[in-house]
Structure 1
Amino acid sequence: MRTALVTAVAGAVVAFLLGLLTFGVQATAHPHDVPLAVVAPPPIAERVAAAGSAEVDLRVVGAEEARTLLADKEVYGVLEIVPGQATIRLNPAINPSGTQVAQQVLTGVAQGAGLPLKVEARAVSAAERTAPLAASALLWVGGMVAGLLFVVLKGRKLRLLSSLTTAVLVVASVTGLLAWWGVTFNAEALGFLLVVAVSFALLQAGLFKHLGIRAMGILGLLYLMAPAVAGQVPELLNPVYKAVLWSWTPFRFSTEGLRTLMYDGSVSTEWWVFGGIALVGLVLLLAGQKTQPDRPDGVVDVGVDEADRLPRAERQHTA
């Protein structure tokens, strides 16, 4: 009876926590203070500024400033209004969820002004929209599976070599898959992908070294909850999820960094983030040797001699 009750409660608690950390992100998503820029003559600009709401942050700026803000990803979209015409400009390097909200809101503004509308944006395929988050998740899964098999197969040596080899092969696998979907990377994006893969593989190998198969409790949970957050933009997230999950998840940095580099942008913070993760993983790998190999079945080798079932250190040899 006790076992039945404990297992039932455990299942309910795990389901609640996973729902809270994964599906809860999408269930509570709602736009707030989404930054948008509008370029318009004074009379229209005044009406636009007065039409602000809690969902969007409409900034009335000059044409050059608006394009700079869009290029720097400070706004999700720009609406330029000239006599008789309205134009929406979007940046493909920005999260698609953000650009979708921007286009909907700015279209409404243009229609309210009674102007014909055109959209200027680089065409982005479904595969290109999916690729940054998909690549990040697959790199994590590849390193995690390799690290887990290293434990299950009772690997003892060359864990570092295994991690680096895993990173290279997983990057090759992911880029091949994306190329099949029609997505190709420039040299800098490919280099960034390799850095991400190395950092993930080193961190996972370090955790597996010290925790054994129990590391799956941490790595598996990170995989389940992080992609759900990384696929959103902060202005769509519930403030609690933004602070507790989005602010630190490495999937967010890898997804945003790769998307930026795909469209010839530049990143800086992301290089430092994954360099730091790789360093932590390397320290874990080099921090001492386990006194016994990883055993997936939980059996601990205490050095018992098979012949007489006594510890070898205490075994007495007769003359």
Structure 2
Amino acid sequence: GANPIAANAAGQIVNQGANPIAANAAGQIVNQVVDHINHQFREEIMTGFEKQGKTLTVKQAAALSSPVAKTVEQVNETGEHSANGNAPVSLVQPLWIASIAGALIVYTALRKWRFSNGRAALLSRFLQGLTGAVLAVAAGYSLVWIAADWVGISIPQIHDTALFIAICYFSFYLMITAVTSWIGFPGAGLFGLLFFFGTPLLTMAPEMMPAFYRGWFYSWLPMRFASDGLRDLLFFNKGLSMNQPVSVLLSIGAVSFLVLLASSLKNHAVSKEAGIKML
């Protein structure tokens, strides 16, 4: 009759670019499940043959060794030169630190200036924004050049990646500058804490996080949108477009710039009350 032992195929598609750690974990889980199924099949088939007093042919024994065959298809592979798939996070870390450093340097320099009226204070805020735009372009191309030539990270779309990093830097810079303009240097400390507590989450898949971190922390983490955008550019072969990461980052930058401009009115009012005009 028909061969009672036949090999079946269990297909697995691994989206490595989405999150290498989650992809590897999913692959291990699938392997364990298939191995368990194969073990159960072998036990049941062997028990059936023993009850019937039959022996296995060579072909049947070969099929019995692995009744369910595993096939793995890798999509959006990260490649060899991707810091083990962590290239987006590796780029976001220096980007965030550079944003804090740039914002504090410009804030410290302008803080020493004296202004005769509120218009001059407002112009200083525009100067802070313009300086940040120049720093953003420089940071974008510098970081891509260092990552590609010095570190050896594969960056398939040089200009799109550099411009996206510039958008990230400018958004972060404006956000940090706006906060420090209102509450001073302690504001930069908040972003330092955000770096230490937020960066580890970038390497995790949202499904693997505790519900609290996923809903109340990761969902609005600014660095998360930078990391997502870089994954699209590095691993998904997507060009720079008005996608969700870019839209969110531009919105953060726009709101931060308005808050920065509003801080000039606050500082001018304080200076007028004290009888001096300063930033």
TM-score bin (small chain): 0.5 to 0.7
Distance 1:291 1:123, change over 3 A: closer
Q: Which structure's relative contact order is higher, taking Cα pairs within 8 Å and 6+ residues apart?
A: 2
Alignment size in residue pairs: 218
* Whole-angstrom distance in 2 between the partners of 1:190 and 1:118: 37
Structure 1 segment 184-223 matched on structure 2, within 5 A: 184-186=155-157, 187-223=159-195
State the partner residue of 1:174: 143
Which of 143-152 and 96-105 deviates more?
Answer: 143-152
* Whole-angstrom distance in 1 between the partners of 2:255 and 2:169: 14
User: SS of the residue aligned with 2:237?
Assistant: coil
Deviation, 1:85, is 4.0
Residues 1:124 and 2:93 are matched in the alignment = no
Deviation, 1:178, is 1.5
User: SS of the residue aligned with 1:94?
Assistant: coil
Distance 1:123 1:282, change over 3 A: closer
* Whole-angstrom distance in 2 between the partners of 1:140 and 1:146: 10
User: SS of the residue aligned with 1:117?
Assistant: strand
Tell me the TM-score normalised to structure 1 length.
Answer: 0.60
Q: Which of 264, 289, 314 matches 2:237?
A: 264
Tell me the TM-score normalised to structure 2 length.
Answer: 0.68
Contact kept, 8 Å, 1:92 with 1:124, in 2: the verdict is no
Code of the aligned partner of 2:131? S
* Whole-angstrom distance in 2 between the partners of 1:123 and 1:259: 9
User: SS of the residue aligned with 2:153?
Assistant: coil
State the partner residue of 1:151: 107
Contact kept, 8 Å, 1:84 with 1:116, in 2: the verdict is yes
Contact kept, 8 Å, 2:174 with 2:253, in 1: the verdict is yes
Contact kept, 8 Å, 1:205 with 1:285, in 2: the verdict is yes
- The structure carrying a bigger helix percent of its residues is 2
* Whole-angstrom distance in 1 between the partners of 2:209 and 2:231: 20
Q: Which has the larger radius of gyration?
A: 2
* Whole-angstrom distance in 2 between the partners of 1:164 and 1:293: 28
User: SS of the residue aligned with 1:124?
Assistant: coil
* Whole-angstrom distance in 2 between the partners of 1:129 and 1:146: 28
Code of the aligned partner of 2:199? P
Contact kept, 8 Å, 1:164 with 1:202, in 2: the verdict is no
Q: Which of 85, 101, 106 matches 2:25?
A: 101
Code of the aligned partner of 2:163? G
Residues 1:248 and 2:225 are matched in the alignment = no
Deviation, 1:86, is 4.0
Question: Unaligned stretches of 5+ in structure 1?
Answer: 1-81, 295-300, 305-319
User: SS of the residue aligned with 1:120?
Assistant: strand
State the partner residue of 1:286: 261
State the partner residue of 2:249: 274
Deviation, 1:236, is 1.2
Alpha-carbon displacement from aligned partner over 1:242-269 (angstroms, at most 9, x marks no partner): 2221121122222122112222147722
Distance 1:128 1:193, change over 3 A: farther
Contact kept, 8 Å, 2:79 with 2:85, in 1: the verdict is yes
Structural RMSD (CA):
3.0
Identity %: 22
* Whole-angstrom distance in 2 between the partners of 1:270 and 1:254: 7
State the partner residue of 1:142: 98
User: SS of the residue aligned with 1:218?
Assistant: helix
* Whole-angstrom distance in 2 between the partners of 1:149 and 1:191: 23
* Whole-angstrom distance in 1 between the partners of 2:161 and 2:18: 16
State the partner residue of 1:55: none
